[in-house]
Amino acid sequence: PNYHIASIPGDGIGVDITQAAKTVLATLSSASQAFTLTYTDLDWSSFAYLKRGYYMPEDWATQLRKHDAIYFGAVGWPSVPDHISLWQMILPIRQQMNQYVNVRPTRILAGTKSPVAACQKDPKLLDWVIVRENSEGEYAGQGGTTHGHTKDAIATELAIFTYVGIERIMRFAFEVAKSRPRKKLTMVTKSNAQRHGMVLWDKVFYEVAEEYKGVVEFDKMLVDAMTVRMVEKPESMDTIVATNLHADILSDLAAALAGSIGIAPSSNLDPTRKNPSMFEPIHGSAPDIAGKGIANPVGAFWSAAEMVRWLGNGKLDEIAEGLMQAIANVTVAGVKTRDLSGEKSTTEVTEAVCQEIEKL
Ligand code: NAI
Ligand code: MG
């Protein structure tokens, strides 16, 4: 089959790694003969915003809905306040495309090193899937400021938790946990200090958990203690479910514990499949290394593999696994960027992965 992809490279290293991912996907497509991709290239970026005054055109949602999936690089540039870039692109896309789940797997790739001592001996100890609530919570965008930015200023940042929103993310997380060998779900909360939304979050978790008793093992963690457990007992967890903000933070930590933020993928999913889902590495536009050709493209490749898996809906899993194997062969061979203690460029890693795909 042929799939239509909306490609949004965005800013900074988003441009480099999207290009790299497209190269690898083209190789995967021709080597496997299992699928083809047609792209619509969208120049929605901070650069475009500075030039014309908007990130996305008015009919953006209609444009995106004509596609089977969205491939996204990163958005954000120092000359535009970050809350503007995020709120004019990535957050509206996630919300209006009903991408209420953000799946963030983390593993230590073969040939790479975790900063956690125990994981250096046994890399298999760290193998997590973080399921992030992606539509509401702390990123609901509600609140306001009075008295502008004066010394009398008061700002509110309202988190919104709905029964429907919590229930659907819990159900999805239990299903992910059930599908994995260890069948274990850890729920993250902060219901000791946040006594309304987080208490509802807990309550709905235990309600849904009733249906999985004896099938999925589950436990609850306060988010602060969770950061410690991730470092000290990585093997004690498997699938993790957390709010929009908590999972955002924990997934950067998870990636760093696995070796680098540059390897971690994410899938923004509309499980109903009525809208296109969106695939992007978890990192941002990294202005500090943009334009240097040294960005790690592995997170982008892994995200591409997840996109292929999603598009195939069960029929392209083997092809996606092939891409993951090609990445592992390359890291094992020591072809790595600087963040993984290597010395190769984005292009060199990309070419090496393409060569491995052709050998499969
Ligand atoms: P960042 O993830 O862009 O960078 C954090 C650090 O990790 C930097 O030192 C960077 O060089 C390094 N890094 C990130 N990706 C890497 C890769 N692939 N290879 C090697 N090193 C890598 O986060 P930061 O600096 O907080 O944000 C920069 C901009 O990106 C901001 O404008 C922010 O709002 C935006 N952002 C956008 C996201 C998105 O589009 N989904 C997600 C996160 C941040
Ligand atoms: Mg983040």
- The residue out of 213, 235, 258 marking a domain boundary is 258
- Contact (Cβ atoms closer than 8 angstroms) between residue 339 and residue 262: yes
Same domain, 248 and 277: no
> How far does residue 339's CA lie from ligand 1's centre (Å)?
13
Q: 321 lies in which domain range?
A: 1-99+264-360
The closest of 351, 333, 344 to 294, measured between CA atoms, is 344
Nearest CA to ligand 1 atom 30: 284
Q: Which ligand is nearest to the CA of 261?
A: 1
Same domain, 137 and 75: no
- Contact (Cβ atoms closer than 8 angstroms) between residue 277 and residue 310: yes
- The residue out of 258, 278, 296 marking a domain boundary is 258
Mutate to test the pocket of ligand 1, among 19, 285, 298, 338 (most ligand atoms within 8 A of CB): 285
- Contact (Cβ atoms closer than 8 angstroms) between residue 239 and residue 246: no
Instruction: Tell me, yes or no, whether 333 lies in a domain.
Output: yes
Same domain, 128 and 160: yes
Same domain, 127 and 253: yes
Nearest CA to ligand 1 atom 37: 284
Per-residue pLDDT of the chain (360 residues; tens, 9 = 90+): 999 999 999 999 999 999 999 999 999 999 999 999 999 999 999 999 999 999 999 999 999 999 999 999 999 999 999 999 999 999 999 999 999 999 999 999 999 999 999 999 999 999 999 999 999 999 999 999 999 889 999 999 999 999 999 999 999 999 999 999 999 999 999 999 999 999 999 999 999 999 999 999 999 999 999 999 999 999 999 999 999 999 999 999 999 999 999 999 999 999 999 999 999 999 999 999 999 999 999 999 999 999 999 999 999 999 999 999 999 999 999 999 999 999 999 999 999 999 999 998
> How many domains is the chain built from?
2
- The residue out of 258, 288, 322 marking a domain boundary is 258
- What whole-number distance in Å separates Cα of residue 26 and Cα of residue 5? 13
Report the pocket of ligand 1 as residue ranges, CB < 6 Å: 13, 74-76, 82, 86, 90, 261-262, 280, 283-289, 295-296, 299, 337, 339
- Ligand 1 atom nearest the C-alpha of 288 is 11
- Ligand 1 atom nearest the C-alpha of 77 is 32
Q: Which ligand is nearest to the CA of 78?
A: 1
Same domain, 217 and 150: yes
pLDDT for 148: 87
Q: Tokens 């334009």, residue? A: 291
pLDDT for 149: 86
Nearest CA to ligand 1 atom 26: 284
Q: What is the CATH number of the domain that holds 305?
A: 3.40.718.10
Instruction: Tell me, yes or no, whether 59 lies in a domain.
Output: yes
> How far does residue 289's CA lie from ligand 1's centre (Å)?
9
Instruction: Tell me, yes or no, whether 343 lies in a domain.
Output: yes
Nearest CA to ligand 1 atom 25: 286
Same domain, 92 and 120: no
- Contact (Cβ atoms closer than 8 angstroms) between residue 282 and residue 104: yes
Same domain, 198 and 77: no
Same domain, 247 and 282: no
- What whole-number distance in Å separates Cα of residue 155 and Cα of residue 114? 40
Written in H, E and C, the secondary structure of the chain is: CEEEEEEEEECCHHHHHHHHHHHHHHHHHHHHCCCEEEEEECCCCHHHHHHHCCCCCCCHHHHHHCCCEEEEEECCCCCCCHHHHHHHCHHHHHHHCCCCEEEEEEECCCCCCCCCHHHHHCHHHCEEEEEEECCCEEEEEEEEEECCCCCCCEEEEEEECCHHHHHHHHHHHHHHHHHCCCCEEEEEECCCCCCCHHHHHHHHHHHHHHCCCCCCEEEEEEHHHHHHHHHHCHHHCCEEEECHHHHHHHHHHHHHHHCCHHHCEEEEECCCCCCCEEEEECCCCCCCCCCCCCCCCHHHHHHHHHHHHHHHCCCCHHHHHHHHHHHHHHHHCCCCCHHHCCCCCHHHHHHHHHHHHHHC
Instruction: Tell me, yes or no, whether 104 lies in a domain.
Output: no
pLDDT for 341: 96
Instruction: Tell me, yes or no, whether 89 lies in a domain.
Output: yes
Same domain, 185 and 88: no
Same domain, 164 and 234: yes
Instruction: Tell me, yes or no, whether 107 lies in a domain.
Output: no
> How far does residue 138's CA lie from ligand 2's centre (Å)?
13
Same domain, 254 and 277: no
Nearest CA to ligand 1 atom 31: 76
pLDDT for 13: 98
> How far does residue 150's CA lie from ligand 1's centre (Å)?
30
Instruction: Tell me, yes or no, whether 276 lies in a domain.
Output: yes
Same domain, 249 and 158: yes
